A = this chain, B = another copy of it.
Amino acid sequence: MHRLDVTPAGTRIMRHLLTYDMIEAVHRSGSIRKAAEDTNITASALNRRIQAFEEEFGSEIFERLPRGMRLNPAGELLLHHIRLQRQDLIRVHSQVADLSGVRRGHVKIACSQALLPYFLPREISKYRAEFPDVTFGVNVRDRIQAEQDLVTFESDLALVFEPAHMVNFEVLHAVHQPVMAVMSAAHPLADRKTLRLRECLEYDLVLPARQFGVRVLLDQAAARFGGKLEPALETDSFDMVRHFAAYGHGIGFQIPVGLNALARPDMSFVPIAERDVAGGELYLGHLKGRTLPVAALKFANQVMTALS
C-alpha cells in the first residue's frame, strides 16, 4: 500500500509516523471519511488506526460529533508535539545529509608530537576554510598509543612516526622522514649540508624522551657503533628542544614535518647522514576494516596530498 518513499510534501515516509500523519489529516478535514480519501486508505482502516492510537495513548484525542470529529484539548496538545517532532526529524535528516556531503562532521586524529606545531594546524585550517562546519579533535599519542586509539574508536585517523606495530593499522600513505639536527644559526655546524652523527656528539645533546620515534632511531644508530647517547637534556617538549639549541649551543633532533622551514632565521636544520641514522616512516592510516566517515576520508586525502 505504500508505493512511494516520499510524501507529497517531499519528506521521506517514516512508517512509524504514519499514524501521526493520519491524526493530522483527520484534524484538517474534520471527518474520518474525508481524511481517508486524502490519505488513500479506507475510512474503516483510518478509524481503527485512530482508535488504536487513543487506546495506547490512554486518552481520547478527538471529540466525536454528529457531523465529524474535532480535536479535544488532549488532541491539541498532541498535535503540537507531532509538529515539533516532525520538524526535529527534518533537522536530523538535514544534518545527516550534511555528513554524507562532507560539509559537517567531526574528525578525530591521533598523532605524533612532531605533527602538532605546524603541519596539522595548517592542514586543518585549510580544510575548515572550505568546510567550516567540520570540527576536529587532535590527541598527541606515542608510537604505541596511536594504534590503540584507532582500535577503541577514540580516533578516526592516526598520523604517527615509526609506530611500534601495525597489526590493526591500514596504511593510507607513508612518507620517509630523515632525522634533522636542530641548532642555532650561529652554531659552528650550522652551514653544513649534511652531518655525521659523531660530529654531533661533540656538543651537548637534547634528546626526545624514549617513547618518541626519533629517539628510537637515534638509540639504534648509537647501538650500531657500540656507544650510548648521553643527553644534556631529555624532554618530551619540542619547544624545550628548540630553546636549548638556540641558547645553549646544543643540538636537538626532529623530523622535517615538525619544522617550520620558513620562519626561523635564528635556527638551522641540517639532515643527519642516512648511513648513520636511517631515518623513519611517517604513516597516515586508520583502523583496518573500518569504513571512515566521509569528512575523515576527505581530510585524509588532503593530508596525503600535502605529504607527497
Contacts and interface: CB of A to CB of B under 8 A. Distances in A.
Interface stretch (A90-98, A178-186, A251-259): A90-98
Given A89-B81, A153-B70, A16 B19 contact: yes
Chain A interface bracket (under 10, 10 to 19, 20 to 34, 35 or more) = 35 or more
Contact of A92 (B19, B77, B153, B291): B77
A12 interface: yes
Question: How many chain copies does the complex carry?
Answer: 2
A15 interface: yes
A88 interface: yes
A81 B120 CA distance: 33
Contacts of A263: none
Nearest to A96: B74
A63 B290 contact: yes
A289 interface: yes
A66 interface: yes
Given A59-B100, A81-B88, A73 B19 contact: no
A105 interface: yes
A92 B81 contact: yes
Nearest to A75: B96
B95 A63 contact: no
Given A58-B93, A88-B85, A100-B59, A105 B73 contact: yes
Contacts of A72: 293
17 contacts: A12-B57, A12-B58, A14-B57, A16-B16, A16-B20, A57-B93, A58-B93, A63-B291, A65-B289, A72-B293, A73-B99, A74-B99, A77-B95, A77-B99, A80-B92, A81-B91, A85-B85
